[in-house]
Amino acid sequence: MSHYHIKSEKQYQEAYLESVKNPEEFWAQIAENFQWTKKWDTVLNFDFSKPEINWFQGAKLNITENCIDRHLFERANKTALLFEPNDPSEEAAHITYQQLHDRVCQLANVLKDKGIKKGDRVCLYLPMVPELAISVLACARIGAIHTVVFAGFSASALAARILDCDCKLVVTSDGAFRGSKTIDLKSIVDNALKNCPNVKTVLVVKRVHSEISLTENRDLWLQPLLDKAEKTCTPEVMDAEDPLFILYTSGSTGKPKGMVHTTAGYMVYSAFTFKNVFQYEEEDVYWCTADIGWITGHSYIVYGPLANGATSVMFEGVPSYPDYGRFWDIVQKHKVNQFYTAPTAIRALAKEGATWPSTYDLSSLKVLGTVGEPINDEAWHWYDEHIGKGTCPIVDTWWQTENGGILITSLPGITKQIPTFATLPMPGIQPCLMDENGEEINTTEASGGLCIKFPWPSIARTIWGNHDRYRDTYFSAYKNKYFTGDGALRNAEGLYRITGRVDDVIIVSGHNLGTAPIEDAIDEHLKVSESAIVGFPHDIKGNALYGYVTLVNSLSTSSETETNQLKKEINDLISAKIGPIAKLDKIQFTEGLPKTRSGKIMRRILRKIASNETNNLGDISTLLNPEVVEKIIEERL
Ligand code: WT7
């Protein structure tokens, strides 16, 4: 019996048991649902101590044949991508599987013509327009490794990523529509490329029709090239473990980590989880509101849905434009059946009141999903009551960029749901909780550091160019276990609730931000000596950033104007180095930062002060400079 589509709690339990008892047999039968040029020799080889992980070794395939070609027999005229533009008066585009095939092949041929070969890296810096999904697939068609950079990142963040994986070509656009604003993406690319001599070609999508400059011998409008290109392109035959893409995620220290995902395992797991977590049926219209610049968009707008022959909505705009009813207008207009968004969006929309959703027909909705951070009880109930009308199951899906697909979630209408609990592991996922001594906790009811004990097909295989960092970050905290960096609790029934990061990563509006890169950006200011960033609770963003900054030579800001000017300069620096998403909500100038005797900044204390939990700071007497703590509390913002 195939476990590919789980339809009942009993089937979930059977699948789960089988996946733990006989993981290789389990994943082999799931993999039978795909199209292979050659099947695997072995299902799994792994050694977490190296770490080395191989799935479906020996198999040959191309993921675009699975996401496109194999659907052409039955679904050629079915909508694959349903593009909803920023401006609601512009018509939505229904791109069928046949059209997707033709457009992907054309772009693949253009890439080949520009010298891109199997294994080359291609950077995609685009708004949420169809060309983004098409470029992703075109790279996969010819075996080029795509690295999508979210178009909210600054020129220097973009350059850092292009340089880290040595991209040869960039696809961008003349600009991006974002609500009432137009963003000039091309000049961001131009600035980034000043330091990236190996990028020989920039292909430019015409979207906003603004005047932009093209650099000779480097920049080309894409459309005329596509018009001349063939609509067929033989898929490159890939090994199961050939890299499919690199996606950067923040680390708690240092530069962003280029997570490498490989072909077969990623395909099998993203498709399997899409089918089951959303219970997608043939006629459904599915919509994930994420940007393809994040892993959620890779796995659950592009690859997972298309591998299942689904109709996947791609939205260019923002939830507030032209008004706060936009999401619900889209649900009504396209009769969306599954809707997947982030807690921060739910909170922002809830704040605008329930009148917005109440004026639209949301009766098409069957399943609601959330992802990116823990969802608070209030937001969960608002979502349930005003969007799901009390009848749609909500899947709270926990996972990470490094994971490739959803690891812990309920299955809608199938397994139990509890507000704020992600609940149960997907088949193949073996979570465990670790205590402070590094031992696995064996009682059911427990809380601790969340690890995964056994590989699943879509786990990232390495960090691009830095395997040691991969091992140190994920496999060194606990022997033979993947450490997630999250804390979790498990209730008496064995259901998991994710409690949040236990490291120096802060999730702001669902974006994963490392404190170190932000501190590095601030420290570049000539007047700044040192800084420390912590998170504090925020109604809409979940967490916001609080920065403690000391100035050189114990400079102090003398006037309010000067203070405000300096704060602005600091945030401008952060915007330029990382992007506006990393700006600080509060900046406190202080004479010193609390430090241990070995000189380590005590963020734990700073975190408590920022969250106004000053009555239980713990023992501060062992600090190098306990006196600064009082001063910081006094001047807290
Ligand atoms: C971190 C990963 C892949 C999803 C998009 C974010 C937090 C994610 C949940 C959830 C509680 C969640 C975790 C995780 N997170 N989903 N449903 N409940 N926390 O991917 O940027 O790699 O961030 O997001 O802290 O470690 P990411």
Model confidence pLDDT, tens digit, residues 150-207: 999 999 999 999 999 999 999 999 999 999 999 999 999 999 999 999 999 999 999 9
Decide whether any atom of ligand 1 lies within 6 Å of the 343 Cβ.
no
- What span, in angstroms and rounded, lies between the C-alpha atoms of 258 and 165? 8
Name the residue type at position 461: R
> What's the maximum distance between 2 C-alpha atoms anywhere in the chain?
74
For ligand 1, whether the C-beta of 295 sits within 6 Å is: yes
State residue 510's pLDDT score. 86
Q: Indicate if the pLDDT at residue 603 is higher than 90.
A: no
Task: Look up residue 192 and give its two tokens.
Answer: 């980034």
Rounded percentage of the chain residues whose pLDDT exceeds 90: 84
pLDDT at residue 328 in the model = 98
Which residues 6+ apart lie within 8 Å of 117 measured at CB?
142, 143, 144
398 CA distance to ligand 1 middle (Å): 6
Paired sense of beta strands 93-96 and 145-148, if any: unpaired
Q: Does position 212 have pLDDT exceeding 70, yes or no?
A: yes
Query: Torsion angle of alpha carbons 583, 586, 591, 594, nearest 10°?
Result: -90
Task: Specify the pLDDT at position 292.
Answer: 98
Question: Model confidence at 254, in pLDDT bands (50, 70, 90)?
Answer: low
- Asked if 490 and 447 count as a contact pair (C-beta separation under 8 A), the reply is yes
At 520, the pLDDT band (50, 70, 90 cuts) reads confident
pLDDT for the residue 602: 83
Within 438-577, strands assigned E span 446-452, 462-463, 482-490, 496-501, 505-508, 511-514, 528-538, 542-551
C-alpha distances (whole Å) from 71 to each of 65, 106, 286, 304, 471 are 9, 18, 17, 14, 39
Hey, whose CA ends up nearest to atom 20 of ligand 1?
400
Q: Whose CA is nearest to atom 7 of ligand 1?
A: 373
Please check the confidence at residue 489 and state whether its pLDDT lies above 90. yes
Give CA separation, 136 vs 25, 83, 87, 256, in Å: 31, 16, 24, 21
pLDDT digit string, tens, across residues 404-418: 999 999 999 999 999
Between strands 505-508 and 511-514, the pairing is: antiparallel
How many other CB atoms sit within 10 Å of the CB of residue 49? 11
Whole-number pLDDT of residue 515: 85
**Residue 204 pairs with which residues in a beta bridge?**
172, 221
Question: What ligand 1 atom has the least distance to the C-alpha of 399?
Answer: 3
What radius of gyration do the chain's Cα atoms show? 24
Q: Is the pLDDT of residue 138 over 80?
A: yes
Is 605:629 a contact under the CB 8 Å cutoff?
A: yes
Residue 350: C-alpha distances to residues 25, 146, 357 (Å): 45, 36, 9
Q: Ligand 1: which of 292, 298, 399 to mutate, judged by most atoms within 8 Å of the beta carbon? A: 399
Taking 3-state DSSP, the helix, strand and coil percentages for the chain, each rounded to the nearest 5, stand at 35, 25, 40
Report residue 279 CA to chain centroid gap. 21
- In this prediction, residues 386-395 reach a mean pLDDT of 98
Q: How far apart are CA 85 and CA 522, in angstroms?
A: 36
**Cβ count within 10 A of residue 604:** 11
- Whole-number average pLDDT of the chain: 95
pLDDT of residue 556: 67
Which residues have a Cβ under 8 Å from the Cβ of 193 and sit 6 or more positions away? 159, 162, 170, 199, 202, 218
**What is the CA(122)–ligand 1 centre distance, in A?**
26
The residue whose CA is least distant from atom 18 of ligand 1 is 374
From 373, 383, 406, 459, give the residue whose CB has the most ligand 1 atoms within 8 Å, as the site to mutate: 373
For atom 17 of ligand 1, which residue has the closest CA? 398
Could you please state the CATH topology (level 3) that the domain comprising 9-318+397-488 is classified under.
Rossmann fold (3.40.50)
> Could you tell me the CA-to-CA distances from 304 to 117, 310, 399, 404 in Å, in that order?
25, 9, 15, 10
399 lines ligand 1 (CB under 6 A): yes
The CA 395 to ligand 1 mean position distance, Å, reads: 14
294 alpha carbon to ligand 1 midpoint, in Å? 11
Atom 21 of ligand 1, residue of closest alpha carbon:
512
Query: What span, in angstroms and rounded, lies between the C-alpha atoms of 268 and 455?
Result: 14
- Residue type (1 letter), 242: D
Task: Please tell me if the CB atom of residue 286 comes closer than 6 angstroms to any atom of ligand 1.
Answer: no
- Nearest atom in ligand 1 to the alpha carbon of residue 299 is 3
Q: Please state the domain extents for the chain.
A: 9-318+397-488, 509-634
CA of 402 to the centre of ligand 1 (A): 10
Residue pair 291/298 in contact (Cβ under 8 Å)? The answer is no
Atom of ligand 1 nearest to the CA of 406: 3
**pLDDT tens, 315-348?**
999 999 999 999 999 999 999 999 999 998 998 9
Closest CA relative to residue 266, chosen from 234, 287, 292, 295:
295
pLDDT value, residue 464: 98
Among 24-33, 229-238, 269-278, 524-533, the range scoring the smallest mean pLDDT is 524-533
What's the CA-to-centroid distance between 486 and ligand 1, angstroms?
9
Determine the distance separating the centroid of ligand 1 and the alpha carbon of 342, expressed in angstroms: 10
Report the distance separating Cα 83 and Cα 100, nearest Å: 12
- For residue 493, give both structure tokens: 């029934």
CA of 379 to the centre of ligand 1 (A): 17
CA of 510 to the centre of ligand 1 (A): 7
Q: Taking the CB of residue 145, how many other CB atoms lie within 10 A of it?
A: 22
Q: Is the domain 509-634 a CATH 3.40.1190.10 member?
A: no
Residue 564, pLDDT score: 92
Query: How many angstroms separate the alpha carbon of residue 258 from the centre of ligand 1?
Result: 17
237 close to 254: Cβ distance less than 8 angstroms: no
Beta-bridge mates of residue 367: 338
Mutate to test the pocket of ligand 1, among 483, 498, 502, 543 (most ligand atoms within 8 A of CB): 498
The share of the chain scoring above pLDDT 70, in percent, equals 98
Sort strands 542-551 and 482-490 into parallel, antiparallel or unpaired: unpaired
> Which of 248, 277, 400, 474 has most ligand 1 atoms within 8 Å of CB, for mutation?
400
* H or E element in which residue 67 lies: helix 63-67
Find the 288 Cα to ligand 1 centroid distance in Å: 15
Q: What are phi and psi of 408, to 5 degrees?
A: -125, 125
Question: Ligand 1: which residue has its CA nearest to atom 12?
Answer: 373
Q: Is the pLDDT of residue 557 over 80?
A: no
Instruction: Report the distance separating Cα 620 and Cα 627, nearest Å.
Output: 9
Task: Report the separation in Å between the CA atom of 371 and the middle of ligand 1, taken as the mean of its atom positions.
Answer: 6
Q: Do 83 and 260 contact (CB within 8 A), yes or no?
A: no
CA distance 478 to 164: 28
CA of 507 to the centre of ligand 1 (A): 8
Could you tell me if 550 and 528 are in contact, meaning their C-beta atoms sit under 8 angstroms apart?
yes
Distance CA 162, CA 169 (A): 9
Cα 584 to the center of its chain, rounded Å: 21
Which of 216-225, 362-371, 487-496, 521-530 bottoms out in mean pLDDT, i.e. has the lowest?
Answer: 521-530
Quickly state the pLDDT bin for 373 (edges 50, 70, 90): confident
pLDDT at residue 255 tops 90? no
Peptide bond into 322 cis (omega under 30): yes
Could you tell me if residue 21 is left (phi over 0), alpha (psi between -120 and 50 degrees) or otherwise beta?
Answer: alpha
**What's the pLDDT tens digit per position in 439-461?**
999 999 999 999 999 999 999 99
